[in-house]
Structure 1
Amino acid sequence: MKLNPLARSKNNSKLPFFTKQDIENIKWFWDNYLIQRTPWLFAVLGLILVQGVAYQQFLSLTESGLRVIFDAGVISDLVQVCAVVFGLFAVRGLTSYIVPRLSTWLASSAVMELRRDLIEHMMTFDLSYFDRTSPGETILRLVSQADGLSQFVGQATVNAVRDFVTVVIVSGYLIYKAPVLFGTAIVIAPVIILILQYVSHKIKMVQREAENVLGAYMNALEETVNGMRTVKISNQEKFEEARLLQSTEGIRDLQIRLQAAQAVVMPAIDIASAFAYALVIGFGGYMAISPAYDIDGAAIITFLIGLVMVFDPMRNLAKFFTQLQAALILLDGVNSMNAIKPTIRDRDDPKDSFDTRGEILLRDVTFAYSPESPLFDRLSLDFPAGQRTAIVGATGSGKTTILSLISRLYEIEGGEITIGGTNIRDIRISSLRQAFSVVAQDIVIFNASLWENIKYVRPESTDEEIWEAAESAEIADLIRARGDLPLGPKGAQLSGGQKQRIAIARAFLRNAPILLLDEATSALDQRTEERVKRSLARLAEGKTTIIVAHRLSAISDADKIYVLDQGRAVESGTHEELLALGGLYHGMYSTQKGEYR
């Protein structure tokens, strides 16, 4: 599976801790989803500052308590110190409850808005995006990566801010109390920085690979589930099992590599910290013994406790920065979806109204799905207003593509398409597509009731209108029989003919002035086809109708028929006129005529 956005930097060159793209992604997320929550963020920061000050005051009180024990020996003073220490930790405990609750709410709300915006943006994508992009990649962006980002922002980042504040406040106190001793302890800082620089590049590389492999796994899983009928008929369960297991093994291996890269940090920092503790104990003990320094045992013990309060958050911060490298890849993946720009867009000041009952013309239309395989080269067709025009031809000749171009699902590269004399590029896209009722061969059925599936195309419809559409499509009896039962994923509980009748019922309900029929009766038996053809004939009355069909029996009564061959209109006329020509249409009819006896 191709995952271009995640593969932006697949070379092995050394990456900086924050690349230019990382900074742009962070700025995008901040400007769009966090800056408006600044008051709440300051509230969280205020609570975190309270936690840091509580630790600093604990150190100060600890030193006082130790002196009470070692020097004064007054029980009442010791009780007072203990009571204040308990109060400090009670305050810290309360803030420790409020901060994660508040931060998780803020992060979840921000990511919810992010998902909302991405879904809204995704709906503007060209159809070509979905042709070339696997569903697994889109699901990865909107579900896995967005959820990982939410957890990182709401938990890891807030914990890191808390740890940073603790380090700064406690370190400031330790510097104030014993600057020379603190300078001795801080010698490990360059070690931590070097370790982080060493692992950050590797973590980014592994995380990119992990996201690609996860996307491939999700895509393979979706393909297997959707194609389970074929899998079982072909007796290929073992093959699919092996394919999915191979993907899961790849995920496992990459997770192990990622953990191995991150695991270097903690033990290295622990060793460096042990070295710093040894220096402080040795040099601090010497300072306490030597008359040259104004420091006592209580101060040294308090300083060591303070170092614990500094080094433990520093370890967490180091771990956070390794997690940050992985989170930056998630953010890049999410933002890469936001960066996609649709090519099919409304022009400035588009038209909302046009002659929907006018003639549809294609003039010198050029189109290709890819530059290597052009489909249409200066194709010209006309579809008279209020008439039934059919398009036939071999598979791959471009029949369905013409319907997609007329409804502007794809953009033509040359020429023009007009409806009632108005270029479709000048029409607002939503207004243009509102003019079509479509019965297509690739029918989308939702896991809802028959009733809801028909109502989908016009939610404001009345019950009477839905029943009328269902009766016209010969599916009303099935609605009565099934009631509100869901149809299963992708309508798995329906036959092909039943699915097609849902599509026909939708077309009746929508009742738009232009009717597009793409293999509208291909999944129906001959008896049902005749009934539905009569219904479609009633639906098409007074409408401009374009029919794409493989069965010539479905279009023999069309007002005009185009025969396509390799993207060119090689014949046109009525059924009788085309038979008389003795050309391609005649050959197709002769091949199929056994159906009509």
Structure 2
Amino acid sequence: MKIRLFDRKKNESKLPFFTPQDLVNIRWFWNNYLVQRTPWLLIVLGLILVQGVAYQQFLSLTESGLRVIFDEGVITDLIQVCAIVFGLFTVRAVTSYVVPRLSTWLAASAVMEMRRDLIEHMMTFDLSYFDRTSPGETILRLVSQAEGLSSFVGQATVNAVRDFVTVIIVSGYLIYKAPVLFASALVIAPAIILILQFVSHNIKMVQRSAENALGAYMNTLEETVNGMRTVKISNQERFEEERLLRSTSEIRALAIRLQAAQATVMPAIDIASAFAYALVIGFGGYMAISPSYDIDGAAIIAFLIGLVMVFDPLRNLAKFFTQLQASLILLDGVNGMNRIKPTITDVEKPLESFDTTGEILLSDVTFAYSPESPLFDKLSMEFRAGERTAIVGATGSGKTTILSLISRLYEIESGKITIGGTNIQDIRISNLRESFSVVAQDIVIFNASLWENIKYVRPQSTDEEIWEAAEAAEIADLIRSRGDMPLGPKGAQLSGGQKQRIAIARAFLRKAPILLLDEATSALDQRTEERVKRALARLAEGKTTIIVAHRLSAISDADRIYVLDQGRAVESGTHQELLDIGGLYHGMYSTQKGEYH
């Protein structure tokens, strides 16, 4: 294992400063979010050029002012030079205010559009993506990494462009004034390049590890907060505290490693710069003394000031390139979401309408969540139009999965699923799913009022329709008593039965022709269950209804009952027919029989 890790690091050390994927990510961000802002970017660049020219003119005026002091001694000329210098720095101060404001606005707008596109793209992901991806990872990409990218593009990158322009303009002036002297200062350039090359890949590796650690921490934190009831009732506060502290310790260690990698750049450049300064002072002093060169003390002093104006931006540029390596990891993480392609998509010319009142058929359906865990192998089932068909079976037999396959939350591997004779893969996904009302066991409740939670499934509903749905689901009295009070995160202030009655009210409100009930009464007491069963019976009138249930009392009056066992439909018939068979259903009923007396 150690050898493999060493080999991986060895290979990573050979990567170029920009990997091919880095270039792809940069082009993606530029083409989609920056290129349309080119006029504004040119304005920013123009202001940056003004800043650079102001520095160059300051350097030229400094040399002129020194000559006034050393040679001419004319006070009016000195006052004129000072006034112009003050004017130049006033211009630079104004541009120094405008450039960050403008660049931050541009970067924030670009990242906002990027977030919008990623959120829109995320909504197309298959349900399987959310099954295998922790919420912390998604939050990390859309929040932390996107925000870090915004700061880097809006501030660090613009500052780097400003420093680069300053280096080019001032260096050009120094080359013009003393090319030999400037060439002697360039001896440090190879050292700076080697330092950056050495440090950059280590920064990338540490930043990638840091992002993974932060994502794991966010996921652990979410698990702890969401499971706080279980944590407290199990008396496991100390365990969760230690688990979170381990994650934070890992983040701290990686942050220190990242800072250590970045910190090696500045001292190395300072030492190289000191060598260049010493070389310029020595050689420049010799040039000023020697009659062989046409250069005086004022020019040497101005040249040294110019070097300061070059080396300080160079230090900032070196720091920028270390930040760039870390930001490339952020960009890759954000673009990683964009590279995810959904597998459940519409066909080229999807059908907008189909016979929602027809029967639903599963014909030789094969499906597996993973190759190692096959679930259905050539499963065939029939759900007759307008009838109530139930599916029962042990946990893990695939009951809920059938509902997911019918609504194309997952894609079958082979076989066919039809509604009214139309293959569901030929129907536009949005139109297909609009035909279902769902009452699921894992109902999602938002931290809003009861009214808003019910209205969520059909925002255009009238007040009368919402009240009608609430009355039918036996939850209208609770709406009157709570008013507009929010329900807490994930409906924490509601009981399990109240949450399911919200789901039932949503189903009434949606008025879809196909009704899917997944353990719709599992959290209700017997008295409430009877009332809700009557409501559901009214809701199911004239609709094709598929019921997934564990409690057989909820489906004893179904028109047909399928019994699943290990992904196969082993029995089917009415309640009485299945009891007469004396098979698996009879055994399940006998086990639960005590509940009905």
TM score, norm. by length of structure 1:
0.98
Query: Equivalent residue for 2:552?
Result: 552
Query: Equivalent residue for 2:31?
Result: 31
Query: Equivalent residue for 2:390?
Result: 390
| CA distance in structure 1 between the partners assigned to 2:197 and 2:11 by the alignment | 18
Q: Is the 8 A contact 1:10 1:205 kept in 2?
A: no
| CA distance in structure 2 between the partners assigned to 1:69 and 1:9 by the alignment | 59
Structure 1: which 4+ aligned runs deviate by more than 3 Å? 8-13
CA drift at 1:373: 1.1
CA drift at 1:14: 2.4
CA drift at 1:95: 0.2
| CA distance in structure 2 between the partners assigned to 1:97 and 1:106 by the alignment | 15
Q: Is the 8 A contact 1:469 1:509 kept in 2?
A: yes
CA drift at 1:11: 5.8
| CA distance in structure 2 between the partners assigned to 1:572 and 1:516 by the alignment | 19
Where do 1:399-438 residues align within 5 Å? 399-438=399-438
* Letter of the structure 2 residue corresponding to residue 166 of structure 1: T
Are 1:117 and 2:117 an aligned pair? Answer: yes
Query: Equivalent residue for 1:3?
Result: none
Are 1:283 and 2:316 an aligned pair? Answer: no
| CA distance in structure 2 between the partners assigned to 1:178 and 1:10 by the alignment | 44
CA drift at 1:186: 1.3
| CA distance in structure 2 between the partners assigned to 1:181 and 1:36 by the alignment | 43
Are 1:298 and 2:291 an aligned pair? Answer: no
Query: Equivalent residue for 1:210?
Result: 210
SS at match of 1:381: strand
Query: Equivalent residue for 2:489?
Result: 489
Query: Equivalent residue for 2:315?
Result: 315
Where do 1:349-360 residues align within 5 Å? 349-360=349-360
CA RMSD, 1 decimal: 0.9
Query: Equivalent residue for 2:53?
Result: 53
Query: Equivalent residue for 2:510?
Result: 510
Q: Is the 8 A contact 1:514 1:545 kept in 2?
A: yes
Where do 1:54-73 residues align within 5 Å? 54-73=54-73
Query: Equivalent residue for 1:4?
Result: none
Query: Equivalent residue for 1:572?
Result: 572
| CA distance in structure 2 between the partners assigned to 1:86 and 1:188 by the alignment | 33
Identity across matched positions, percent: 87
* Letter of the structure 2 residue corresponding to residue 250 of structure 1: E
| CA distance in structure 1 between the partners assigned to 2:144 and 2:520 by the alignment | 38
Where do 1:244-259 residues align within 5 Å? 244-259=244-259
CA drift at 1:10: 10
| CA distance in structure 2 between the partners assigned to 1:534 and 1:14 by the alignment | 70
In structure 2, the gaps of 5 or more residues are 1-7
SS at match of 2:186: helix
Query: Equivalent residue for 1:43?
Result: 43
* Letter of the structure 2 residue corresponding to residue 421 of structure 1: G
| CA distance in structure 1 between the partners assigned to 2:42 and 2:190 by the alignment | 31
Where do 1:6-405 residues align within 5 Å? 12-405=12-405
| CA distance in structure 1 between the partners assigned to 2:194 and 2:379 by the alignment | 64
* Letter of the structure 1 residue corresponding to residue 182 of structure 2: F
Where do 1:464-479 residues align within 5 Å? 464-479=464-479
Cα deviation code 1:479-501 (max 9, x no counterpart): 01111011000000000000000
Query: Equivalent residue for 2:501?
Result: 501
* Letter of the structure 2 residue corresponding to residue 39 of structure 1: P
CA drift at 1:561: 0.4
* Letter of the structure 2 residue corresponding to residue 481 of structure 1: S
SS at match of 1:408: coil
CA 1:10–1:226 in 2, change beyond 3 Å: closer, same or farther? farther
| CA distance in structure 1 between the partners assigned to 2:289 and 2:535 by the alignment | 104
* Letter of the structure 1 residue corresponding to residue 89 of structure 2: F
SS at match of 1:16: coil
| CA distance in structure 2 between the partners assigned to 1:21 and 1:559 by the alignment | 57
* Letter of the structure 2 residue corresponding to residue 110 of structure 1: A
In structure 1, the gaps of 5 or more residues are 1-7
Cα deviation code 1:303-330 (max 9, x no counterpart): 0000000000000000000000000000
CA drift at 1:125: 0.2
| CA distance in structure 2 between the partners assigned to 1:191 and 1:434 by the alignment | 65
* Letter of the structure 2 residue corresponding to residue 235 of structure 1: N
| CA distance in structure 1 between the partners assigned to 2:115 and 2:447 by the alignment | 23
Q: Is the 8 A contact 1:347 1:426 kept in 2?
A: yes
* Letter of the structure 1 residue corresponding to residue 385 of structure 2: A
* Letter of the structure 1 residue corresponding to residue 294 of structure 2: D
| CA distance in structure 2 between the partners assigned to 1:273 and 1:381 by the alignment | 78
CA drift at 1:156: 0.3
